[in-house]
Structure 1
Amino acid sequence: MSAHRIHQIQVLFSAEEDRLQLRINTHGRAEFRFWLTRRFIKRLWPGLRQAMESQVQTETTAPVDPSNRAAVLSFVHQQAVSESDFATRFQEEVSETPLGPLPVLVTRARIEPREQSGYLIGLHPQTSYGIEVAMDPKLLHSFCKLITDAVAKADWDLNLILSPIGKVVTDMETLYGSNGSNYTIN
C-alpha cells in the first residue's frame, strides 16, 4: 500500500456476518475492505499489544519497571487516542476498490517493526493480495481502540486488555511463529 496514504480507518461489527468489517480509505479515495473474524482478532491481538508495549519501551528514556508497565502503556495509549479524530464521519465516497467491491476475508497477518518509528502491518487473505499498512505509534493505538470498541459491541467474550502478558515472545513464538521481532499469524 506504499502508493496510498491512509486517510481514515473504520472498524464496525456486522451482526449478520458475525465479523468485524475493516475499511481503510486513502487520500486518493481508494478503499480497502476486509472481514476480520473472532478467531483472527483473538490471534492478532497479542501481536498488536506486543507492538504497543515495544513502542512504549522504545519511546521512554528510562527502562520501564515491569510492575509499572501496564500503567505506562495505559497512559501512552490514552494520550495517543485522545489526539486522534474519532468524531469525523467515515467518508463513503470511493473512486476505486483495489481489492474488489466486497470485503476480503483476512486469514494471515504480519506485524513487523519499521526502521524509523512504528510498525508495518500486513493483512492478507488465504489466496490473492492484501495490503501492508505502515502505522506510526498514534495510528497503531487508534487502530487498536477501533478494534476494542468493535469487539465490545460484538459480544464475543474476548478480553482485549492492555496489561502486560508475561512471556510475550515465547507465547507469540509458540502460537504464531516468530522471526526476530516480526510476528506472523497464519
Structure 2
Amino acid sequence: MIRSIAASILCLLSLQARASAPSDSIVDSCLLFDKPVRSTISILPIDGAEVLQDDYEVPGYTVFRPGFKSNSLGVGYATSKHGNDDFVIVGRHRGYISRAIPRGQYKPQRIEPPERALYAVIREDAQQYVCLVESNGNGSAAFVRSAFVARIPPDRNAGLTLYFKVADIKKLKTFTEGSR
C-alpha cells in the first residue's frame, strides 16, 4: 500500500516537472534571442540602464538587474561572493545555476560577467519564460551560445527550474527560415 502511494506521488512529481519544462522551440528561440523558432513565440528583450546592487537585496550576493525601466518582472542574476551558488532571479523566484538541468552534454556554469549576458522574457500562449544568453566566443566560436531558460511560475512562492543548453546558432532554424 505504501509503495503504491509512493510510486503514485513520484509519478505525479515527474509529470509536473515535465509539464513545466520549456519546449525545444522555447529554448532554441532563447539561444537565437532575436528570431523565434515559431510564429506563436514572442521575445521581449530586456535592455537599457542596469542596476548593480551589492549585499542590499540578497546578503552575500551581488545582484545585477538589466534594463531598469523595461524590466517589470525584476529579472536579474545574482553572483555569490563565497562560492559558485549563483542564481537567476525573477521577482521573488530563484533558479540556481548549480541545479540547472542540462539539455545536451554540457554542464551548466556561472555567467561571467552577468553584465555581458542578454536577458529576455519569452512568451508563448499563456506561459512566460525567463531567458539568459551568454556568447563569449570569437572567430568560429562566435556562433556558439549558452542559454538558461525557465518557465516563470504563477505561484509567487515557487522556485525556478532552470534548463541549460549550448548550441551553434547557425544550425538552428528560425520561423522565417523554416517557412520558406
Give the TM-score of the pair, scaled to structure 2. 0.27
Relative to total residues, which structure has the larger strand share, 1 or 2? 2
Which structure has the higher relative contact order (CA within 8 Å, separation 6+)? 1
